[in-house]
Structure 1
Amino acid sequence: MQRAGLCLAIFGALAAVHWGGQTAFSQSTAQSSPPAQRPNVLVVFDDQLRADVCGIYGGRNITTPNIDRLASQGVTFNNAVSICPLCTPYRGMLQTGRYPTHSGLVLNWVEANPRQRCIAHVFRDAGYRTGFIGKWHLAAGRLKKAGKHAVTPEDGQRIEKSQAEYRKENPETEYVPPGPARLGYDHWQAYNFHSTFHNAFYYEDTPQRLIMKSHETDAEMDMAIEFMRKQREAKQPFFLMVAPHPPHPPWKPQDCPAGYLEQIRQDLIWDPNVPQDHRLRQNPLPARCYYAMAKNFDDAFGRLLDSLDKSGLSENTIVVLTADHGDMLGSHGRQNKMVPYREAVNVPCVIRWPGRIRAGQRIDVLVTPMDHFPTLCGLVGLQAPSTCDGVDLSGALLGTRRIDRDAVLMANYVSHWDFFDSGTNWPEWRGVRTERYTYAKWLDGKEELYDNVEDPYQMKNLAESEKDSPVLKRLRVRLAELLADAHDEFLPGTVFADWYDDERNLLKTALGPVER
């Protein structure tokens, strides 16, 4: 985190994000200029890539020269927070700019509401060619008829049977057909979900399963390079999202790209909050596989940046590099995500726009997945819909406005990432993140408070040692305010079962019934 002086200097130098002023590419310019003159937008968001894997965030087990290169040419957010660290809720926030309680996307394997206005709709309507490559995970897929709960052994048997029956009727369960379910994307080389990294499959505009020619991340970057080449020839601006699945599990040697596991050190450097017995149990293979996939992502991302340079597209392309969430990798004795700790919620976020965004900046302002929609619209001069809950940070990026944001809401809505359950794997919680503090309250009433400056590995719970601290009292109040903004009553995950029908189509959100 940056020093307080630098943060104050940034705050003092910029004007408020919601106040007047023009972006570098104003709305009037966007409306009057031919589409080909508008900047391209490339958003690359990796799956499960935690911030501190990257060199720019202090990574020690691998080097990430290409992510670091992008940072040297753009702005790095020190406080990029995946406020609901789970695949589908993140993707929902990215596409809609809305809280999960407002979009209805509170867990995995549910159908996104095809009637809501999403980021690709806005860019497509402005003359952009919109494209999505990689993991989608905004559809019910193979769990379309699997029911809503997975608590009892009987539930498990029912789920297994229903999936088998559904596959007989729909063998390509992870195909998302053209039309409203693609939320505004025209070019499509994607799949809803799978964890097959070698011979990975994807779909275009028919349910014919297509096989990637190389390891998934490499293949998807190649697809992106080819898409951008065609758009350059067509002289049409593009809005492209690329979403590789690795380094999401599985973490086995056979899942790693060839030649990368051998590059990862045997004696990994562990954070001090990883228990010793956990280090011995996890080392060397699973964590080394994770880092091997992350290293491969950086190399593949470098090829993508090189292609932009060689094609002459770099100068007129906004590039965003981020991730949907991190992974605990043994910290606090935990694996996976869905918890409020820094390893799960801290993600990389770097944005580059040559000549418009000053190179080499680091800023402390909090950024969430919901903010990308209004921010990218703000940069190119388009109007984000009023339904967006995110904040337009374009002024902070361009140095024209100040952003004064004291806190953001964090949440885990269900305790099973695929079903509407409570009290199973990861108990429900809500929390507040500020530039300095992490506060979380669990469904059973337990509280945690960490000073991320003095205690970066979150090993001292101030909610236990300083129960009457002004900070704790203030963040309790702030949590209540943010929950009200999100229309979130902080109830057990079972309540969300009523939001969906038996095929996981959305019926309602915290705002009421949805149009179907």
Structure 2
Amino acid sequence: MKQHQLVLALFACLSFWSCTEKASKQKRPNILFIMSDDHAYQAISAYGSKLIQTPNIDRLADEGILFHNACVTNSICAPSRATILTGKHTHINGKMDNVHPFDTTQMTFPQIFQKAGYETAMYGKLHFGNNPKGFDDFMILPDQGNYINPDFITPEGDTTLMGYVTDLITDLTIDWLKKKRDEDKPFMMMYWQKAPHRPWWPRADKFKKYSQMSFPEPESLFDDYSGRGTAAKTAEMNIYSHMTYNHDSKIRPETLKRMGQIDPDVPLYKNGFTYPYNRATLEQKAAYDPVVDSINLYFETHWPKMSREEKMRWKYQRYMQDYLGCIESVDENVGRVLDYLDESGLAENTIVVYTSDQGFYLGEHGWFDKRFAYNESFKTPLLIRWPSKIKAGSVNDDLVQNLDFAQTLLEAANIDAPNDMQGESLMPILTGNNKEWTRDAVYYHYYAYPAYHMVKKHYAIVKKDYKLIHFYDDVDEWELYDRQKDPNEMNSVYDDPKYADIVKELKGELDGLRKKYKVID
């Protein structure tokens, strides 16, 4: 009898230990890392956008924290993603531009999560490498991917899914959360959208809706770059001069052929219209065609009579219509995932991050694209929700970078970060201990020149009050911006004697940052 009682007692202890261990594991937060490609903070209503309402992304600001001074280390897609994954600057992880190979010996934070017992998955756009490291499951787009009927790379091989890419990536993500994950393990899910990357093809219903809308122009749409140096004047990202008719504005090749030579200096993409359009089925084309036809009819009828200024304005509106139409789908799909977290009971113990791989120009300075250390491409949206830790409705203006994401998430999961990571954990900010955050300057470095868009190599130190930029390689030019007096960065004051002491001080701090981060030019 005593032996039987002893066995029962031992069984009870083992059961208690097992349940306690399982409960302990479950207390580790789940992580849903949402990232879009080229999503400008100016196109999120939580940031005060006058262009679009994004109620679902805004939920993360309402229920968590919104960062006003989040930025990137290198404003170009693949290098930014490599920095996020490794917690290291691009000269360390090898992905300095979209051409240089990623150093595959580098440890990524998903690998660390996987080793620590998390179940890991990635769905959407990685943009470099076909076999992402540290994931138990993945379906990723090859290279840039396609909006219509996209191909995917999977551990089992390539496949094509029929439908619109933003919806499909969300379907895959929710399906994994519902059916595929091990519910006994915490998860680290990367839900990375292609949208709103160029060429902007909204879903057919959004294409129709947004083609009928018009949007306010930025003050600097017709910027002449007189207050800046060579780099701004020679960059090839002007909406009028460098945004293509076929690839970007959706002008059919047969329309252009009928019209003959128009603006010969404006480039054309080979198959820029036909390649994405011809991925659609006949039924899908039928949904797009009425809008495409109306755009082409207007273009063919009015373009020859337009002034250069009118052409710039028309191309800006076409750009915004398609770009913002893509974003509305992103926002709606973020809502679908957040709703599932609520319905499933996962929301309370899940950290949700929303960000972009960098910012983007929405006509500011007359530009599209990114690359510069100027504000619109340097600054990136960052919103984080963690119900048990972050006070709802928090707002923060500290200087934080995508360099910090890996260490932040590792600390949140109580996982030790490698000593060679170069960021800083945002946990003091997330938990309301802002006084423990002491960073007052960040370092930026862009390497991809000569290359597409021809933005010159440059590096910068950025503080809340000032931004000092050095353009180098085939030029040697410095620019200084007083961020309080000139928030739109229209006029460099580098040569103004009143700022001589500021220049000297910032150059000293810049040298210190370059040594700290082991920078090589």
Range class of TM-score, shorter chain: 0.7 to 0.9
Alpha-carbon shift at residue 267 of structure 1 (Å): 2.7
What percent identity do the matched residue pairs reach?
29
1:236 partner SS: coil
- Equivalent positions of 1:290-309 (< 5 A) are 290-309=323-342
Distance 2:462 2:433 in 1: 25
Distance 2:202 2:464 in 1: 35
Distance 2:418 2:209 in 1: 46
Alignment equivalent of 1:273, drawn from 220, 226, 233:
220
1:113 partner SS: coil
Which residue does the alignment assign to 1:472? 503
Describe the shift of the 1:121–1:489 C-alpha distance in structure 2 as closer, same or farther (beyond 3 A): closer
Which residue does the alignment assign to 1:411? 445
Matched, 1:215 2:248: no
Distance 2:199 2:430 in 1: 36
In 2, are the aligned partners of 1:101 and 1:486 still within 8 Å (CA)? no
In 1, are the aligned partners of 2:138 and 2:155 still within 8 Å (CA)? yes
In 2, are the aligned partners of 1:108 and 1:417 still within 8 Å (CA)? no
Alpha-carbon shift at residue 99 of structure 1 (Å): 0.8
In 1, are the aligned partners of 2:412 and 2:427 still within 8 Å (CA)? yes
Q: 1:394-446 CA distances to partner (integer Å, 9 max, x unpaired)? A: 1211124610111000111121458xxxxx81110001111232221111222
Unaligned runs of 5+ in 2: 1-19, 224-308
In 2, are the aligned partners of 1:76 and 1:363 still within 8 Å (CA)? yes
Matched, 1:94 2:84: yes
Which residue does the alignment assign to 1:318? 351
Alignment equivalent of 1:462, drawn from 482, 486, 493:
493
In 2, are the aligned partners of 1:231 and 1:237 still within 8 Å (CA)? no
Which residue does the alignment assign to 2:226? none
- Equivalent positions of 1:186-335 (< 5 A) are 186-208=136-158, 210-230=159-179, 234-251=183-200, 255-264=201-210, 266-275=213-222, 277=309, 279-335=312-368
1:118 maps to a residue whose letter is T
- Equivalent positions of 1:1-400 (< 5 A) are 34-139=24-129, 176-177=130-131, 182-208=132-158, 210-230=159-179, 234-251=183-200, 255-264=201-210, 266-275=213-222, 277=309, 279-400=312-433
1:300 partner SS: helix
1:131 partner SS: strand
2:41 maps to a residue whose letter is A
Alpha-carbon shift at residue 268 of structure 1 (Å): 1.4
Moved more, 465-474 or 284-293: 465-474
In 2, are the aligned partners of 1:120 and 1:130 still within 8 Å (CA)? yes
Which residue does the alignment assign to 1:426? 455
Distance 1:387 1:32 in 2: 32
In 2, are the aligned partners of 1:107 and 1:417 still within 8 Å (CA)? no
In 2, are the aligned partners of 1:409 and 1:433 still within 8 Å (CA)? yes
Alpha-carbon shift at residue 263 of structure 1 (Å): 3.4
Which residue does the alignment assign to 2:468? 439
Q: 1:106-132 CA distances to partner (integer Å, 9 max, x unpaired)? A: 011443222222101111111111111
Q: 1:23-71 CA distances to partner (integer Å, 9 max, x unpaired)? A: xxxxxxx999643331100101110001111111111111011111111
Alpha-carbon shift at residue 82 of structure 1 (Å): 1.5
Which residue does the alignment assign to 2:304? none
Distance 1:120 1:453 in 2: 38
Moved more, 462-471 or 383-392: 462-471
1:137 partner SS: coil
2:141 maps to a residue whose letter is Y
Alpha-carbon shift at residue 83 of structure 1 (Å): 2.0
Q: 1:349-376 CA distances to partner (integer Å, 9 max, x unpaired)? A: 0111112111110011111111000011
In 2, are the aligned partners of 1:86 and 1:417 still within 8 Å (CA)? no
Distance 1:219 1:76 in 2: 27
In 1, are the aligned partners of 2:480 and 2:503 still within 8 Å (CA)? yes
Distance 2:371 2:341 in 1: 35
Distance 1:263 1:434 in 2: 41
Describe the shift of the 1:466–1:351 C-alpha distance in structure 2 as closer, same or farther (beyond 3 A): farther
Distance 1:39 1:231 in 2: 18
1:125 maps to a residue whose letter is K
Distance 2:438 2:346 in 1: 33
1:387 partner SS: coil
1:373 partner SS: helix
Alpha-carbon shift at residue 223 of structure 1 (Å): 1.0
2:178 maps to a residue whose letter is R
The alignment yields a C-alpha RMSD, in angstroms, of 2.2
Alpha-carbon shift at residue 206 of structure 1 (Å): 2.6
2:444 maps to a residue whose letter is M
In 2, are the aligned partners of 1:42 and 1:317 still within 8 Å (CA)? yes
Alpha-carbon shift at residue 489 of structure 1 (Å): 3.7
In 1, are the aligned partners of 2:40 and 2:362 still within 8 Å (CA)? no
2:428 maps to a residue whose letter is G
TM-score by length of 1: 0.76
Distance 1:103 1:478 in 2: 24
Which residue does the alignment assign to 2:243? none
Structure possessing the higher radius of gyration over alpha carbons: 2
Moved more, 351-360 or 223-232: 223-232
1:478 partner SS: helix
1:134 partner SS: strand
2:493 maps to a residue whose letter is L
Distance 2:55 2:73 in 1: 27
Describe the shift of the 1:417–1:45 C-alpha distance in structure 2 as closer, same or farther (beyond 3 A): farther
2:66 maps to a residue whose letter is T
Alpha-carbon shift at residue 466 of structure 1 (Å): 4.8
